[in-house]
Amino acid sequence: MISRALGIGGSQPEIERILIPVDGSSNSNRALEFAINLARKCSAEIYLLHVMSFVPIYLSDLWEPFHSSLPYTYFEESEEEGEDILASASDKVGDAGIKSFALLDHGRTASKIIQTAEEWRIDLIVLGSENRSLIAKLFLGSVSDEVTHKAPCPVLLVKNKSRKGCVPHES
């Protein structure tokens, strides 16, 4: 049934490469679980991406409280945290018997997701929904909105609250 809904098989192109941006949040973990189950059904590879986005640096010219310099260890600790998030996600994918690749990158999250999808010739991006406030969306935008509109491939948005039967389970 999920194959038909996503246009898998028949005259439609197969899904061989699935990109999952991961950040360690419950929304991201839910999207990863969904993508793992989908990858099993499609015999697809999973490409994991963690983007380190240092928002305070981008906002430093806009608002004085952000102008203070960050300690050098902040960047090292953020990178270590990103590596841990990718390692955890890689372990989950590996435990499911699915081939995966992982990338830790720096920059604007939406831009990096789109760039990575283009460079790796991704067939499907699976994103967890965001829980940002209206104010945060106004200042920072919505990653899922930007990716959905600019991605070179289909984007599947996985909401955190699930309804029965929404995650494709192994049959």
- Domain assignments of the chain as residue spans, ordered by start: 16-158
Contacts of 43 (CB under 8 A, 6+ apart): 16
pLDDT along the chain (171 residues), means of 10: 51 84 90 95 95 62 51 76 94 96 92 95 90 53 83 89 53 47
Question: In whole angstroms, what separates CA 59 from the centre of its chain?
Answer: 23
- Taking the C-alpha atoms of residue 34 and residue 104, their distance in angstroms, rounded to an integer, is 21
Q: What's the pLDDT score for residue 33? A: 95
Helix axes 109-119, 143-150, angle to 10 degrees: 30
By the 8 A CB rule, do 22 and 105 touch? Answer: no
The yes/no answer on whether domain 16-158 falls in CATH 3.90.850.10 is no
Q: What's the pLDDT score for residue 60? A: 47
Q: What's the pLDDT score for residue 137? A: 53
DSSP 158: E
Q: What's the pLDDT score for residue 153? A: 95
DSSP 127: E
